[in-house]
């Protein structure tokens, strides 16, 4: 089922790509922001403490595998997020977990299923209709494109029929959930289509 979490991750990834991030980094950023806003909504329970740029932390790459990396700070417009370098590319971190593009595919793309390419196109349209100042403002982007009171993909501007998004069942607020190790390659490259 597709919920608010998946829609937020997809829109944040589209936003990052529109502002010049490569696809893999945009997917990591989109998932990171969806996790951040879901945690903020629930009150940031638990966790391993705050990260500071320049500090080294032990982080989970995959289940059962950890790495020690220097955490760095990045800003997409006025939105600050923390990342580590993995093979020369940014991978955003939340708590002690690194958000990889494979995680985006499992937690977001697979939830959309065959409708993922259409959802990408819709995200491109939504982000493409957004002025640069709004894209660079965390508060404006969230309030104009992802209102906190919205609980369904339909209310985010995604076309639906009944309780489905292009044939995918939707749910109002789906929590982050692992869906196994199989990944499907249904990424959409949206950066070139945004001016």
pLDDT at 16: 95
Q: What percent of the chain has pLDDT over 90?
A: 41
Total domains present in the chain: 1
Domain hosting 174: range is 4-193
- DSSP letter (8 states) at residue 46: S
172-182 pLDDT, tens digit per residue, is 433 333 333 32
112-122 pLDDT, tens digit per residue, is 999 999 999 99
pLDDT for 73 beyond 60: yes
Q: Of 15-29, 32-46, 54-68, 152-166, where does the model show the most confidence?
A: 15-29
pLDDT for 85 beyond 50: yes
The mean pLDDT value of the chain amounts to 74
Q: Return the structure tokens found at 107.
A: 């937690």
- Exposed / middle / buried, residue 98 (Cβ in 10 Å: 0-12, 13-18, 19+): buried
The stretch 131-155 carries a mean pLDDT of 74
Cβ distance 136 to 78 under 8 Å?
Answer: yes
Cβ distance 114 to 167 under 8 Å?
Answer: yes
Q: Return the structure tokens found at 28.
A: 């990591």
Confidence of residue 192 (pLDDT cuts 50, 70, 90): very low
pLDDT for 43 beyond 90: no
pLDDT at 116: 94
The stretch 127-147 carries a mean pLDDT of 87
Distance CA 135, CA 143 (A): 11
pLDDT at 171: 43
């Amino acid at each position: 089922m597709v919920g608010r979490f998946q829609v937020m991750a997809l829109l944040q990834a589209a936003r990052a790509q529109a502002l010049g991030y490569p696809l893999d980094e945009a997917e990591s950023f989109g998932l990171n922001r969806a996790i951040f806003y879901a945690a903020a909504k629930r009150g940031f329970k638990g966790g391993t403490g705050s990260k500071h740029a320049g500090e080294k932390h032990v982080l989970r790459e995959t289940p059962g595998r950890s790495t020690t990396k220097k955490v760095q700070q990045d800003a997409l417009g006025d939105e600050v997020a923390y990342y580590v370098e993995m093979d020369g590319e940014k991978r955003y971190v939340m708590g002690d977990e690194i958000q990889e593009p494979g995680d985006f595919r499992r937690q977001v793309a697979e939830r959309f299923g065959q409708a993922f390419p259409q959802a990408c196109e819709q995200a491109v349209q939504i982000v493409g209709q957004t002025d640069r100042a709004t894209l660079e403002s965390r508060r404006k982007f969230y309030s104009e494109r992802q209102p906190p009171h919205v609980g369904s993909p339909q209310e985010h501007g995604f076309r639906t029929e009944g309780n489905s998004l292009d044939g995918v069942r939707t749910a109002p607020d789906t929590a982050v959930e692992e869906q196994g190790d199989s990944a499907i390659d249904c990424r959409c490259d949206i950066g070139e289509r945004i001016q």
